[in-house]
Amino acid sequence: MNTIGKPRRRVDARAKVTGQTRFADDIMLPRTLHCKLLRSTLPHARIARVDASRALAHPGVHLVLTGRDFPISYGILPVSQDEHALAIDRVRFVGDPVAAIIARDELTAFEALDLIDVEYEPLPTLSGPEDSLAHPEPRLHEYGDTGNIHKIVSLEFGDVEAALALADHVFEDTFFYQGNTHLPIEQHAAVAVKDPDGKLVLYSSTQTPHYVHRALARALAMPAAHIRVVATPNGGGFGGKSDPFNHEVVVCKAAMMLDRPVKICLTREEVFYCHRGRHPVLMQFTTGVRRDGSITGMHVKTLLDGGAYGSYGVASTFYTGALQTVTYHIPTYRFQGCRVFTNKPPCGPKRGHGTPQSRFGQEIQLDKIAEKLSIDPAELRLRIVEQPETLTANYLRVGTIGLAECIRRVTRAADWTNTFRKLPHGRGVGIACSSYLSGAGLPIYWNDMPHSGVQLKLDRSGGVTAFCGATEIGQGSDDVLVGCVAEVLGIDPLDIRAVTGDTDLTPVDLGSYSSRVTLMMGNAAIQAAERARDLLAAAVSNKLGVPKDRLVFADRRVFDTEQPSTGVSFAEAVCLAETMFGTLGTTGSYTPPRSAAKFKGGGVGPSPTYSYSAAIVEVSVDPSTGWIDVPRVWIAHDIGRSLNPTLVRGQVEGSVYMALGEALMEEQTFRRLPPRLSSALVHKFPSMLEYKSPTTLDMPEVITELVENPDPRGPFGAKEVGQGPLLPVMPAVANAVYDAIGVRIDEVPITPEKILKALDAKAAGKDPRFGPAHFPDIAWPDALQVPPPWEGGDGKAINENVRRAKSDARDRTSKSTGSEVVPS
């Protein structure tokens, strides 16, 4: 291999270090008008009246839009089409957009916001899951499973009760994971333009141009073929730019009405309101183990605070229960998850989507289990690592597993056996592991079309252009695209031009989410490049009289492997092929294998293959102040194969960084204003100064180990790296704190205050821990019963029809009596 596996300057690096990368807000077009959104000041209210007449009369204001201009709802998931670009009759959180001003400049638009008169009639607010469960009425939305429960699910794979009865020990632990937000340094921005031919173009900092394209067609009732969405390189995404957003729909409508470019750039405060970040999750793990540490069964319950809209929430809910089985062998498994609506900015996917929360609980509980069984926690994990090439209890098909090697590598690097439980009081080490998808196995809207497409254009200049809908969000997707093509064609990555993230010019790629791009786009790129190589090889073979299978593509040449001096330059090979075949263009596409899960809810979790990580974190804790310092993190990641080690290492270290922020300081929390100020539920600190994130002074030394065991399902064997390495870090911090000072902090962020409270509890002879005391009673529906593969199951639920009949009967009853729907 000439390109793959070698540390390289990424192909878009020069643009980035010279400030020439054009982000959405850098697009400056003549005659641009500027848009600002008026956002709700109340967390829940009926809009009695919106009067924009004073704003419209303000000099420089061109247009005012309100909810009535956007009658059609949209949303990222087909089952949650619950958003309007501007609120029609109700606002559901402080920051919910109510009206839009389009004016000659930003200042004028800002000024005019104050001239819109909105009359609100306040409604009762739901501040958290307990509120939402206790108050099914009034409902925040007219859809969802029941009351203010958006989604409630219950799945059982084998007889968990019987398995727990067989266990030598049963552990029950409750954990809380606080919500936090992506905080990309780039604020969301968008520019909409009516093309000279009357079609709509949107430039936007989005991770998912394809889904935005679909949402715009729906919300604006326009043919999708008349809409072009260009994803500008994102100044960081982390999941926060994966939904279609209000401001995108608004500027599109305005540009079409005014026939002038319309631009919006959100303020930092507004970015906090867009959110779609980490769900706060309360969870309970009940796990049965034998004396040797093997797990007999596990029951996981999660309660998610979803905020005011659906977003990806249904998927997030399932993800809190999906991947436990992918890491360790769990023969029987029950998952119950519940997502509620509250009057806060909507939660959604943040790096790790739904899995970091339950990973936190699972890995701390394993630490507790190891201690109780007197087994070293690294050794315990080695004993229970899931088998490769297997089907889990919940029908996830696992490929290669490098987790055992990850554990061995980090324990060796960190000198684990000489440090764990051996450091002086106040210093400690903790270990945790994880796994993550290399791309979601199913698209957001179900269909059998490819998830990623790549087109190549080659012409007589010797130039190659690679087209793909994938979106560069900093992860290096353009580099992966050209790297794969360059390797197959034997040219330099910098010889290739990448055209990406443009729904007019590039074939569909579903977007930069679920760690799917490297695997899916990479496979599509290899297929397209191999097809191009076949054409070139045929033409060169014809010219040189050398059999095709003896031709090698390397060093910008095509030559005879037996006589390397016999050959042509790559450019000449393209000319020969263009002469022989006419205009050259090839395509490649990638569709993931079919999932083995056939039950309802089985669509979340399947992936072509899974990555694995193990982390050891060292902490020192000052028992008098509770202050936590993290001097070092060792992390090993099963990458399959590292396509460009410079970028892979960047993803690992960036994940560790973001994880430490979540573990130690970051939280998106809310408070009530005093009654004289409306009792509104407001964001505690929608600013970067108060929302603490790690700086250069906080970042520890990170020792990264890459475990390379190529997975045949990945491009050149590669798996994901963008999200997985975040997951083990938070629980490893918690486990290290326990090693250091003997108290359990069963929630994040792990702050000095919580440490002091736990130390106080310990000193008073109470449970030496800080964390949630209990998990509330929830009326779970009857579980879907899916026998695991080793019990003769076929991936289908054995009671799905029974359950559906019961649910239909219940719906009929509730409709006829008008009573509240209570899940059985």
Query: Going residue by residue from 170 to 189, which x/- string records binding to another protein, judged by CB under 8 A?
Result: ------------xxxxxx--
456, 483, 521, 548: which is closest to 2 by C-alpha? 483
Burial of 789 (0-12, 13-18, 19+ CB in 10 A): middle
Is 350 a residue that touches another protein (CB under 8 A)?
no
Nearest to 210 by CA among 569, 517, 428: 517
Please give the single-letter amino acid code of residue 495: D
Contacting residue, 244, 307, 346, 474, with another protein by CB under 8 A = 474
CA distance 530 to 53: 62
The yes or no reply on residue 733 touching another protein (CB under 8 A) is no
Supply the minimum distance, in Å, between the C-beta of residue 241 and another protein.
11
Judged by CB under 8 A, does residue 268 bind another protein?
Answer: yes
Query: Is 696 near another protein (CB under 8 A)?
Result: yes
**Terminal Cα distance for the chain, rounded:** 59
Q: Does 693 bind another protein (CB under 8 A)?
A: yes
221, 697, 763, 773: which one binds another protein (CB under 8 A): 697
Contact range with another protein by CB under 8 A, out of 418-426, 469-477, 709-717, 754-762: 469-477
Run of H or E including 523: helix 517-544
Query: For residues 6 and 290, which CB has a smaller minimum distance to another protein in the complex?
Result: 6
* Least distance to another protein, CB of residue 477, Å: 11
Give whichever of 183 and 458 is closer to another protein, judged by the CB atom.
183
Residue 2, Cβ density class (10 Å: 0-12 exposed, 13-18 middle, ≥19 buried):
middle
Strand 464-468 to 452-458 pairing? antiparallel
104's torsion region: left (phi>0), alpha (psi -120 to 50) or beta?
Answer: alpha
Q: How many CB atoms lie within 10 A of CB 187?
A: 19
Specify burial of residue 688 (Cβ count, 10 A radius: 0-12, 13-18, 19+): middle
Shortest Å, Cβ 503 to another protein: 21
The one-character DSSP state at 345 is P
Shortest Å distance, C-beta 665 to another protein: 13
> Alpha-carbon Rg of the chain, whole angstroms?
27
Does the protein bind another protein through residue 241 (CB under 8 A)? no
Residue choice 159, 459, 629, 653 for contact with another protein (CB under 8 A):
653
Q: CA-based angle 400:641:378, to the nearest 5?
A: 55
CB 310 within 8 A of CB 150: yes
List residues bridging with 744 in a β-sheet: 769
Query: Minimum Å distance from CB 97 to another protein?
Result: 20
**Per-residue contact string for residues 514-533; x = within reach of another protein by CB under 8 A:** --------------------
Of 58 and 339, the one with the shorter C-beta distance to another protein is: 58
Cβ atoms of residues 529 and 464 within 8 Å: no
* Calpha distance 295→297 (Å, rounded): 6
| Residue number with CB closer to another protein (356 or 588) | 356
Closest of 284, 288, 285, 286 to residue 163, by C-alpha: 288
Rounded-to-integer distance, Cα 235 and Cα 189, Å? 10
Nearer to another protein, 21 or 127 (CB): 21
CA distance 624 to 756: 8
If the CB atoms of residues 447 and 687 are measured against another protein, the closer one turns out to be 687
Q: Does 463 bind another protein (CB under 8 A)?
A: no
Q: How far is the CB of 37 from another protein (least distance, A)?
A: 17
Evaluate whether 454 touches 588 at the Cβ level (below 8 Å). Answer: yes
Q: Under the criterion CB under 8 A, does residue 21 sit at the interface with another protein?
A: yes
DSSP structure string for 381-444: HHHHBPPSSEE-TT--EE----HHHHHHHHHHHTTHHHHTTTSPTTEEEEEEEEEEESS-SS-S
Site string for another protein, 286-325 (x = CB under 8 A): ----------------------------------------
For residue 12, state whether it binds another protein (rule: CB under 8 A): yes
Helices (H), 29-157: 53-57, 106-113, 129-134
Question: Closest CB to another protein among 237 and 345?
Answer: 237
Closer to another protein at the Cβ: 436 or 738?
436
Site for another protein contains 19 (CB under 8 A): yes
SS3 65: strand
552 belongs to the binding site for another protein (CB under 8 A)? no
The alpha helices in 678-820, defined as continuous H runs, are: 729-741, 752-763, 800-817
Q: Which is nearer to another protein, 127 or 693 (CB)?
A: 693
CB of 189 to another protein, least distance (A): 10
| 656 lies in the binding site for another protein (CB under 8 A) | yes
Choose which of 227, 347, 647, 786 interacts with another protein (CB under 8 A).
647
Is residue 455 within 8 A of residue 536, CB to CB? The reply is no
689 binds another protein (CB under 8 A): yes
Structure tokens at 54: 């004073």
Instruction: Pick the stretch among 20-28, 329-337, 523-531, 771-779 that binds another protein (CB under 8 A).
Output: 20-28
Name which position in 473, 544, 604, 740 contacts another protein (CB under 8 A): 473
Question: Residue 240 Cβ, how far from another protein at the closest point, in Å?
Answer: 10
| Cβ-proximal residues to 802 (8 Å cutoff; 6+ apart), any chain | none
Looking at the Cβ atoms of 207 and 332, the one nearer to another protein is 207
- According to the binding rule CB under 8 A, does residue 704 interact with another protein? yes
Q: x/- string (CB under 8 A) for another protein, residues 416-455?
A: ----------------------------------------
**Position 267 contacts another protein (CB under 8 A):** yes
**From 95, 129, 179, 233, residue interacting with another protein (rule: CB under 8 A):** 233
Min dist. Cβ of residue 535 to another protein (A): 26
Shortest separation between residue 735's beta carbon and another protein, angstroms: 21
Which residue, 93 or 238, is less far from another protein as judged by CB?
Answer: 238
Which residue(s) pair with 204 in the sheet?
190, 231
The residue from 370, 481, 702, 748 that contacts another protein (CB under 8 A) is 702
Quote the least distance from Cβ 239 to another protein, whole Å.
12
**Cβ–Cβ < 8 Å for 191, 24:** yes
Shorter beta-carbon distance to another protein: residue 317 or 471: 471
210 binds another protein (CB under 8 A): no
Binding region for another protein (CB under 8 A)? 6-10, 12-23, 25-26, 28, 107, 182-187, 233-238, 267-268, 473-476, 492-494, 645-647, 649-650, 653-658, 687-689, 693, 695-697, 699, 701-704
